[in-house]
């Protein structure tokens, strides 16, 4: 249920490369979270870096929401870049897996497959 690619890049470099790949593939970066920084500021220091990027393709998101507005709770898609065991990893929960939990609509499944293909490309390019 997870798609994870190791990379020899630093988290900073992988994050920058993800930003470029997201734009190159027609998606937009809506927001990013730096869990290490945020939790550290709240008194819960983390050793490993962990950043999450919320991404979206406007056309595909509008198709999903037009078909079923309640699916807004499963959007936007997320890509993580993080350290684990001294390695940098880039990963996601595949949209096909995520949306199949909340919808059995074949049109939603088709859009989820398209989104997943592009997100795999984004991750692969950045890794």
Give me the pLDDT at residue 56, please.
96
Q: Per-residue pLDDT averaged across 8-36, rounded?
A: 97
Domains of the chain: 3-126 (3.30.310.70)
Give me the pLDDT at residue 55, please.
98
Nearest to 5 by CA among 76, 74, 77, 94: 94
The β-bridge partners of 92 are 3
Q: What is the pLDDT of residues 51-82, one digit of tens each?
A: 999 999 999 999 999 999 999 999 999 999 99
Instruction: Tell me, rounded to whole angstroms, the distance of Cα 70 from its chain centroid.
Output: 20
| Cα–Cα distance, 51 to 45 (Å, whole number) | 14
Round the average pLDDT of the chain to a whole number and report it. 96
């Amino acid at each position: 249920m997870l798609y994870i690619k190791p990379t020899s890049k630093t988290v900073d470099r992988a994050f920058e490369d993800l930003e470029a790949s997201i734009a190159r593939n027609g998606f937009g970066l809506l927001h990013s979270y730096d869990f290490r920084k945020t939790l550290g500021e709240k008194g819960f220091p983390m050793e490993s870096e962990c950043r999450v990027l919320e991404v979206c393709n406007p056309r595909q998101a509008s198709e999903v929401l037009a078909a079923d507005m309640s699916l807004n709770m499963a959007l936007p898609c997320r890509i993580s870049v993080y350290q684990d065991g001294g390695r940098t990893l880039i990963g996601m929960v595949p949209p096909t897996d995520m949306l199949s939990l909340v919808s059995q609509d074949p049109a939603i499944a088709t859009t989820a497959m398209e989104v997943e293909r592009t997100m795999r490309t984004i991750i692969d390019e950045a890794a």
